[in-house]
Structure 1
Amino acid sequence: MKKQINILRFAILLSCVALVMTSCGEKKEDKEDSASKKPNIILFVADDHGIDALGCYGNPVIKTPNLDQLAAEGTRFTNAYCTSASCAASRSVILTGKFGHATGSYGHVHDYHHFSTYDTIKSLPVLLEKAGYATARIGKYHVAPESVYHFQTVLEADPRSTFEMAEKCADVLNSDKPFFLYFCTDDPHRGGPFRPVDWKTPNSFGNKADGYPGVKTVVYDPKDVLVPDFMPDTQQSREEIAQYYQSISRIDQGFGKLMAMLKETGKDKNTIVIYISDNGMAFPGAKTTVYEPGIKLPCIIKDPFESKKGSVNNAMISWVDMTPTILQMAGVDAGKNKFHGRSFEKIIGEENPKGWDEINASHTFHEITMYYPMRVVRKGDYKLIWNIAYPLEYPFASDLWDSSTWQAVYRNKAQFYGKRKIQDFLHHPQFELFDLKKDPNESVNLATDNKFLPVLNDMKTRLREFQKNTQDPWIIMWGDHDNSFQGTGVHL
Structure 2
Amino acid sequence: MKALHLVVIVLITCIQTMAEKPNIILFVSDDHGLDALGCYGNPVIKTPNMDQLAADGVRFTRAYCTSASCAASRSVILTGKFGHATGSYGHVHDYHHFSTFDTVKSLPVMLSEAGYHTAQIGKYHVAPESVYKFDVRYKCDPRSTIEMAETVTPTIRQDKPFFLYFCPDDPHRGDPFTPDPWNAPNSFGNKSEPYPGETIVKYDPKDVIVPEFLPDTQECREELAQYYQSISRIDQGLGKLLKILDDSGKTDNTVIIYISDNGIAFPGAKTTVYEPGIKLPCIVKDPRTDFQGLKNRSMISWVDLTPTILDFAGVTVEKSRFHGRSFLPILGKKNSKSWNTVYAAHNFHELTMYYPMRVIREDNMKLIWNIAYGLKYPFASDLWAASTWQSVYRNKGEYFGHRKVQDYLFRPEFELYDLKSDPEESRNLADDPAYANQLETMKKKIQAFQIETNDPWQIIWGNKSNMQGTGVNL
Specify the TM-score bucket, using the shorter chain as the normaliser.
over 0.9
Q: Does the CA-based 8 Å contact 1:122-1:337 persist in structure 2?
A: no
CA distance in 1, matches of 2:28, 2:68: 14
Matches within 5 A, 1:201-280: 201-280=184-263
CA distance in 2, matches of 1:93, 1:176: 29
Q: By how many angstroms is 1:491 displaced? A: 5.0
Q: By how many angstroms is 1:19 displaced? A: 2.3
- Say if 2:156 is the partner of 1:173: yes
- Say if 2:13 is the partner of 1:23: no
Q: By how many angstroms is 1:202 displaced? A: 0.3
SS in structure 1 of the partner of residue 190 of structure 2: coil
CA distance in 1, matches of 2:62, 2:233: 25
Which of these residues, 309, 320, 327, is aligned with residue 310 of structure 2?
Answer: 327
- Say if 2:451 is the partner of 1:485: no
Q: By how many angstroms is 1:21 displaced? A: 1.7
**Structure 2: which amino acid aligns with 1:481?**
N
CA distance in 2, matches of 1:74, 1:438: 30
Q: Does the CA-based 8 Å contact 1:127-1:334 persist in structure 2?
A: no
Q: By how many angstroms is 1:115 displaced? A: 0.4
2:399 alignment partner in structure 1: 416
Question: Residues 49-68 of structure 1, C-alpha deviation per residue, up to 9 Å, x if partnerless?
Answer: 00000000000000000000
SS in structure 2 of the partner of residue 484 of structure 1: helix
Q: Root-mean-square deviation (CA), in Å?
A: 1.0
**Structure 1: which amino acid aligns with 2:305?**
M
Could you say which structure has the larger radius of gyration?
1
Which of these residues, 328, 342, 360, is aligned with residue 325 of structure 2?
Answer: 342
- Say if 2:59 is the partner of 1:76: yes
For these two proteins, the number of residue pairs brought into alignment is 474
Gaps of 5+ in 2: none
SS in structure 1 of the partner of residue 85 of structure 2: helix
CA separation of 1:443 and 1:114: change in aligned 2, threshold 3 A? same
CA distance in 2, matches of 1:323, 1:207: 32
CA distance in 2, matches of 1:145, 1:334: 23
**Structure 1: which amino acid aligns with 2:359?**
V
Q: By how many angstroms is 1:304 displaced? A: 1.1
CA distance in 1, matches of 2:331, 2:257: 12
Moved more, 271-280 or 18-27: 18-27
Which of these residues, 426, 435, 444, is aligned with residue 418 of structure 2?
Answer: 435
- Say if 2:272 is the partner of 1:292: no
CA distance in 1, matches of 2:62, 2:348: 24
Which of these residues, 432, 442, 449, is aligned with residue 449 of structure 1?
Answer: 432
**Structure 1: which amino acid aligns with 2:456?**
P
CA distance in 2, matches of 1:230, 1:299: 22
CA separation of 1:329 and 1:86: change in aligned 2, threshold 3 A? same
CA distance in 2, matches of 1:66, 1:97: 28
**Structure 2: which amino acid aligns with 1:31?**
C
1:313 alignment partner in structure 2: 296
Give 4+ residue runs of structure 1 displaced > 6 Å after superposition.
none
SS in structure 2 of the partner of residue 315 of structure 1: strand
Gaps of 5+ in 1: 1-17
**Structure 2: which amino acid aligns with 1:357?**
N
Q: By how many angstroms is 1:169 displaced? A: 1.2
CA distance in 2, matches of 1:209, 1:390: 43
- Say if 2:291 is the partner of 1:301: no
Q: By how many angstroms is 1:483 displaced? A: 3.1
Q: Does the CA-based 8 Å contact 1:475-1:483 persist in structure 2?
A: no
**Structure 2: which amino acid aligns with 1:251?**
I
CA distance in 1, matches of 2:463, 2:127: 31
SS in structure 2 of the partner of residue 154 of structure 1: strand
CA distance in 2, matches of 1:282, 1:431: 24
Question: Residues 204-233 of structure 1, C-alpha deviation per residue, up to 9 Å, x if partnerless?
Answer: 000000121211100000000000000000
Q: By how many angstroms is 1:482 displaced? A: 2.4
Question: Residues 308-327 of structure 1, C-alpha deviation per residue, up to 9 Å, x if partnerless?
Answer: 21000000000000000000
CA distance in 2, matches of 1:144, 1:423: 36
CA distance in 2, matches of 1:442, 1:203: 27
Moved more, 331-340 or 481-490: 481-490
SS in structure 1 of the partner of residue 125 of structure 2: coil
CA distance in 2, matches of 1:435, 1:347: 26
Which of these residues, 112, 127, 143, is aligned with residue 160 of structure 1?
Answer: 143
The normalised TM-score by structure 2 is: 0.99
2:133 alignment partner in structure 1: 150
- Say if 2:102 is the partner of 1:128: no
Q: Does the CA-based 8 Å contact 2:213-2:402 persist in structure 1?
A: yes
SS in structure 1 of the partner of residue 322 of structure 2: coil
**Structure 2: which amino acid aligns with 1:170?**
T
1:103 alignment partner in structure 2: 86
